[in-house]
A and B are shown apart, each in its own frame.
Chain A
Amino acid sequence: MIAYIARRIAFLVPTWLGVTLLAFFLSTFAGGDPARNYFLRTRGRQPSPRELVIVRERFDLDKPLPERYLTWLGGAVRGDLGDSFSTGRPVTQELLRRFPATLELAAAGTVVAVVLAIPVGVLAALRRNSILDQLTRGGAMFGASIPPFWLALLLIILFSVQLQLLPSAGRGGLDHLILPALALGLGEAAIIARLTRSSLLEILREDYVMTARAKGISERRVIARHALRNALGPVVTEIGLVFGYLLGQAAIVEIIFVWPGVGRLAVEAIGQRDYNMIQGFVVFAGTVYILISLAVDLVYLWLDPRVTLVRQARPAAS
């Protein structure tokens, strides 16, 4: 087990280096002059050559590319991602300052998804092919197809403009969290519900479930103790991935709800050619995602000890 974890972690190093390489060169080759853009944005006009030189020197843009990458990578290893081209503040500090907001949103979205999806998925599996099951499947398809930005607008129009119950924008108390969490979580709920349903159906066909039933254990107990526990394995994997996915997906919802998270920060950075911020975000998001999938694997390992020894590939999520 320890060896497995160690190997798993060792593999992360080249992955992470690859992320930094891609992040640095993709944003650099995207073109555009960040110094000029910085100036246009902060001053609303063209810079004079003197002003441009000052900006270039300040952000090391006058140095050759490989030198810039190595300097940047050296910093990144120590957690220093350079200074933002738009605020002048350290990128790491910016990301860490805004990350809790995104984390809050992604967590709330995941909670919405799980709380809605698991009961619905279980019920659909238990009443397979009933009207309820049909509706759930249709609803799940519908939910998965609605783009979050559209759902977000509908939610705002209903709950903020019409009913004036919940705020339409900004981060604050729980009331501010509800709409963005719904916008983010509903689509994923649909996916998790379908997965729960199919996973539970598969388990219900297993011999040991039959055996349990034959022994005369109550159906409730069969489901709760035997079937559900085993069915949740792939679901937990999915929830972890959903959480990671929502961290990235949050950007669009953050923009609509004016949520001060890292997703919005990244989108703004792209518009501003804030290379350091874009690179910083990609490396940061990559790191978080790598860590989440590691954590998911470990949780899975713990949930289902059988996997330990022969584990090569994860059973495909159906």
Chain B
Amino acid sequence: MRQHGGFGAPVLLAGLAVLLIASACGGDEDEAARTDPSGPQTLIIGAREDGYTTEGNEADVGQYPLNANIFEGLVRMDANYEVQPALATEWEFKPPNAWTFTLREGVQFHDGTPFDAEAVKYTFDRVAKTGGGTPGFGKDSTKIIDDYTVEITPVFENRRLIEQLVHPSYSIIAPDSNPGDEPIGTGPFKFVDYSEQEQIVVERNDQYWGEKPTLEKITFRFLPEPNARRLALEAGEVDLIVDVPREAVADLEAKGFAIVQSDVGAYDALYLNISGEKGYTLLQDPAVRHAIGYAIDRDALVEGLFEGLAGPEQTMIPSRLLGEQNAAEIDGYAYDPQQAEQLLEDAGWTEGADGVREKDGRRLELELINGFPSAQAHGAVPEFLQDQLGEVGIEVKIVKMPDTASYEERLASGEGDIWIEQGSQNDANPVFLPALLFWTEGLFGDIGYQPLFAPGGETDRLIIDALANPDSEETKALTAQAMSELVDEEAIVLPMAGIFRIDAMSEEVGGYEPQPSALQVRYDGAFLARD
């Protein structure tokens, strides 16, 4: 009594089998890079997550973190972290605390409004309403001198203002506009459309005051997952992707995609707590700190964990910004486990029964706190460090924090010995991070945790001088000295690697120049060469 003629095949199984077999096959290859634009000039970019804010005075669609080239600041930053004119042609610092800017004439916003001092005042007054930003804009900070001259007086003495203004958060928006409603700027591309978490689309600004872009349109698709970006590139859905996972680089290259690297613009570093209480006092012994510096094989770290795709530099602040000559003053640490053991031995740390060193009955056991900007960002680096420090008799316990906020909270509590952080340099102010983290007074006063990594004395003096110097070149030199103090003398900061950004694109994309700071990438030179 059985029925016949139905579909007997277990669709599920068959489908899965096909999947498994097909996914094991390789991809095909592309050839020949092209050098001239041809075909439709519509570029699709696989960007990172959508981090825009859309409401109120904080709205920054098109500005930050993805600089969609709609807006420009008074100044911008080149690949050497040098400040260059943009909407301001000249500037001057007037002691004690004022800056005058001469504005570029003949520039129009995308809606036809002329760019002038009014727009600058509107923009910076808006920043003042959300707390004033790093430059310290107050409600009376920006004064219009004439149509094309403004004077800015920050709320605190700020000699670093010009270096901070390169950040896209301070780019100029059209008077009475709000980027959350409609982004109106003066940049090489005009806003077309934004759908949250999906994409932002811009088109060429034919009225642009500078060199006009070749691209007619750019679609930035938000693809937060690095693997989703990679697959979208391989599937031909996007032309260019940012921040390629390092383990995917060789594969993408083999499949005919072009890999582009920026210069080092970020760092991976350890900060050692010298002001901990109760269980966290071991790193107050400089011998232990220096020993950690020598115990880490940074070459193996870069080779093994960064796939060889990281710089060996130990300056923390990118050497491009400090200046190569200044950066050379920071020695860093060669891999020398014998030296590390000798230092510990001399300081009275002798090997216990289980290989962990002890002194006065106390084990050399340190907590490493992982979570900035996220625990995942550090991959297996903490485990690698645990292994390396174990070799010289230092036991490391890894504490993973679930997110930035809990990491910050832990930092405020001071509970932890070694703090691993990754960060990037996004403006031209070299002393921002040293002043924030390693200065006993703290850049913003008491935000809870400066003393952990701030030795005071010479370091404080250098940071204060660097902050107060109106000359950028001298500030770079002073900052490098402060970093040398922190890295070489005090061993409070132990840089692990210099990190550069890796983008990948189809062979059809030309003229794209990556920047050490993602915020400064410009697309006016890019083009497509399509049949």
Q: Residues on A close to B: CB < 8 A?
A: 31-34, 36-37, 40-52, 54-55, 83, 86-89, 116, 119-120, 123, 126-127, 132, 135-136, 138-140, 142-143, 146, 153-158, 160-164, 167-171, 186, 189-190, 219-220, 223, 255-258, 260, 264-265, 268, 270-271, 273
Contact = CB atoms under 8 A, between A and B. Distances in A.
Interface string B1-30: 111001110111100101110110101000
Interface in B206-248: 221-225, 227-228, 231-232, 234-237
Interface stretch (B47-55, B93-101, B307-315, B483-491): B47-55
Contacts of A190: 12
Contacts of A138: 13
19 contacts: A32-B404, A33-B408, A36-B405, A41-B404, A42-B58, A46-B447, A47-B131, A87-B196, A116-B11, A123-B6, A136-B10, A157-B23, A161-B234, A168-B235, A169-B223, A170-B198, A189-B12, A190-B12, A258-B225
Nearest to A255: B225
B405 A273 contact: yes
Contact of A219 (B1, B16, B195): B1
A88 B405 contact: no
A190 B1 CA distance: 27
Contacts of B12: 116, 120, 136, 139-140, 142-143, 186, 189-190
B357 to A, nearest CB: 34
Interface in B436-451: 436, 443-447
Given A54-B131, A265-B197, 7 more contacts: A89-B55, A132-B10, A146-B16, A160-B234, A167-B235, A186-B12, A260-B195
Given A33-B405, A168-B237, A87 B54 contact: yes
A187 to B, nearest CB: 10
B130 interface: yes
A270 B197 CA distance: 16
Given A126-B3, A158-B19, A169 B221 contact: yes
B53 A158 contact: no
A119 B228 CA distance: 34
A184 to B, nearest CB: 14
A249 to B, nearest CB: 18
A160 B236 CA distance: 9
A190 B2 CA distance: 24
A119 B3 contact: no
A100 to B, nearest CB: 13
B56 interface: yes
Interface in B24-80: 25, 27, 49, 51, 53-56, 58-60, 64-65
Contact of A126 (B2, B59, B133, B231): B2
A162 B27 contact: yes
Contact of B232 (A33, A168, A220): A168
Contact of A88 (B51, B53, B447): B53
B406 interface: yes
B64 A154 contact: no
B319 interface: no
Given A123-B6, A256-B225, A31 B405 contact: yes
A123 B18 contact: no
Contacts of B198: 170-171, 258, 260
Interface in B446-492: 446-447
Contacts of A164: 235-236
B171 interface: no
B23 A258 contact: no
B339 interface: no
A37 B10 contact: no
> Which residue of B222, B235, B432, B446 has the most chain A CB atoms within 10 A of its CB atom?
B235
Contact of A258 (B169, B228, B405): B228
A230 B447 CA distance: 67
B91 to A, nearest CB: 23
Contact of A162 (B23, B58, B404, B432): B23
Contact of A158 (B22, B60, B224, B447): B22
B132 interface: yes
A31 B409 contact: yes
A164 B12 CA distance: 22
A35 B128 CA distance: 18
B134 interface: yes
A127 to B, nearest CB: 6
A86 B53 contact: yes
B58 A88 contact: yes
Contacts of A123: 6-8
A119 B132 contact: no
A45 B134 contact: yes
B403 interface: yes
Contact of A169 (B54, B130, B228): B228
B53 A87 contact: yes
B426 interface: yes
A265 B197 CA distance: 9
Given A88-B58, A220-B3, A48 B131 contact: yes
A168 B231 contact: yes
Contact of A44 (B3, B11, B64): B64
> Which residue of B1, B2, B11, B446 has the most chain A CB atoms within 10 A of its CB atom?
B11
A132 B232 CA distance: 38
Given A116-B11, A120-B12, A135-B10, A161 B231 contact: yes
Contacts of B195: 260
Contacts of B197: 258, 260, 264-265
Contacts of B16: 139, 142-143, 146
Interface in B335-394: none
Nearest to A37: B405
Contacts of A167: 235, 237
A49 B54 contact: no
Closest 3 pairs between A and B when the two form their complex, measured CB to CB: A32-B405, A51-B131, A88-B55
Contacts of A45: 134, 432
> Which residue of A43, A54, A143 has the most chain B CB atoms within 10 A of its CB atom?
A43
Given A161-B231, A190-B12, A271 B22 contact: no
Nearest to B229: A169
A160 B131 contact: no
A300 to B, nearest CB: 27
> Which residue of A32, A169, A260, A271 has the most chain B CB atoms within 10 A of its CB atom?
A169
Contacts of B23: 154, 157-158, 162
Nearest to A115: B11
A31 B198 CA distance: 30
A257 to B, nearest CB: 8
B196 A32 contact: no
A127 B2 CA distance: 7
A50 B444 CA distance: 9
Contacts of B405: 31-34, 36-37, 40, 273
